[in-house]
Structure 1
Amino acid sequence: MTMADDTLEFDPVCLDHVRLGARPLAVFDIDDVVLQFLVPFEAYLTSLGLRLIPRSFRLHGNILASATEEALPDDEVSALILSFFEAQERWQTPFAEAVEVLHDLARTADVVFLTAMPPVYAIQRRRLLDRLQLDFPLIATESPKGPVVARLHGGRPLPVAFVDDMVRNLSSVGTHVPDCLLLHMMPESEMHRHAPQAEGLALRARDWREAERILAAHFLVD
């Protein structure tokens, strides 16, 4: 639930490790799209004597000390998010059917992961993804996602799709890659009920099988 501000100056991201073929491109966010984030993060907080309350679609201001019921200061919440990224390999698991669907899609399209997290934690994420047999290229950045997808796609005359749970990221990619199919995908939870919706901006997929059908149709039509 962290996100980059698209008004910030874009910090170039290295894409040299990504090799695309003459095929459609499917770019996926990871947290709460491919891998569960909120559920394991809540379990992580519980292990520390903390709890998350779903008053809004924010982590800051909504994490309490269980013993006192007092909200943690923002700097402590930020530190908790980073410590969770450090420990992610012990907590995060894929959503149902995500691994199977991604491998099915990879038969006809290039799959790339674009995750919004400090690049210093990319090593842990890479190990976790590899253990799950999700060995697709990984880009970890705190920069806005639109310019990254634009550079990655490079204006090729091939279908491109972007899947994310955050409306702000979908909007960023839609602005920078106008011909990109935008797919909004987020889990069902009390907190996600507070999340901005993507009506008029993106299609909605409620699970991985629905996402697969939408992406397959887009790649075939285009």
Structure 2
Amino acid sequence: MSEILDLSHVRLSDRPLVVCDVDDVVLNFFAPFESYLKKDGLELLPRSFRLTGNIVSVGTEIAIEEAAVKQLIGLFFEQQEEWQTPFELALDTLNALGADADVLFLTAMPPRYSQARRRLLDRLGFDFPLVATEEPKGPVMWRIHGERALPSVFIDDMAHNLHSVRDHVENCLVLHMMPDSPLHLLAPKPDDGIARAMDWSHADDLIRAHIHR
């Protein structure tokens, strides 16, 4: 039975809304996860855009089973405070945007790991509300923003999340933003019409043009 998503801590003001993914948008995931695997004699071979089947034992290149992959990801999220670091300009950009808009994190992870993520974000200075869920992001974004006649923005590295929000929230600026990693080069591409932010400085320009138009 899935957990009921609690949004009671999300309180929006009468301002535009900027909703942002966390892993590989605000915090590095791919590079720290690679280092995390190496300590256990494992490596990630970027042969396709998935973890199952591509995490292998060093030397043998034998892939570990799906259950072991899920366990590794869970353990990584439990220890994320020791491994994950922010992308350059992420904090400065979001803080500056926070003067003109409500900023919210929407992270795709089991809610049981949200307290560790909350501690990490707070320690790094990202003191914006956090929603952690494995539900599709479009319906969640709609529950948060609804039909408010205010600009909204959604930033993510995954095409399916961008498409989900585009399909559920009208007139939302959906921004594709991803790290320059070998794995992400194999990721499905977003549909035409979805803007790509090359870095946080570029994202800032695109977001401000949307919320101030």
Q: Whole-Å Cα distance in 1 between the matches of residues 61 and 48 of structure 2? A: 17
Q: Does 1:73 align with 2:65?
A: yes
Q: CA deviation at 1:179?
A: 1.6
One-letter code aligned to 1:128: L
Partner secondary structure for residue 22 of structure 1: coil
Q: Does 1:162 align with 2:154?
A: yes
With over 3 angstroms needed to count, the CA separation of the structure-2 counterparts of 1:133 and 1:170, relative to structure 1, is same
One-letter code aligned to 1:56: S
Alignment of 1:34-73 (within 5 A): 34-73=26-65
Unaligned segments of structure 1, at least 5 residues: 1-8
Partner secondary structure for residue 102 of structure 1: helix
Stretches of 4+ aligned residues off by more than 3 angstroms: 9-12
With over 3 angstroms needed to count, the CA separation of the structure-2 counterparts of 1:11 and 1:143, relative to structure 1, is farther
Q: CA deviation at 1:201?
A: 4.3
Q: Whole-Å Cα distance in 2 between the matches of residues 169 and 201 of structure 1? A: 15
Q: Does 1:211 align with 2:203?
A: yes
TM-score of the aligned structures, taking structure 2 as reference length: 0.97
One-letter code aligned to 2:166: G
Unaligned segments of structure 2, at least 5 residues: none
Q: 1:97 maps to what in 2?
A: 89
Contact 1:182/1:201 (CA < 8 Å) preserved in 2? no
Q: 1:5 maps to what in 2?
A: none
Identical positions, percent: 55
Q: Whole-Å Cα distance in 2 between the matches of residues 210 and 192 of structure 1? A: 19
Q: 2:164 maps to what in 1?
A: 172
Q: CA deviation at 1:138?
A: 0.2
Superposition RMSD in Å: 1.3
Q: Report how many residues are paired.
A: 213
Q: 1:184 maps to what in 2?
A: 176
TM-score of the aligned structures, taking structure 1 as reference length: 0.93
Q: Whole-Å Cα distance in 1 between the matches of residues 110 and 150 of structure 2? A: 30
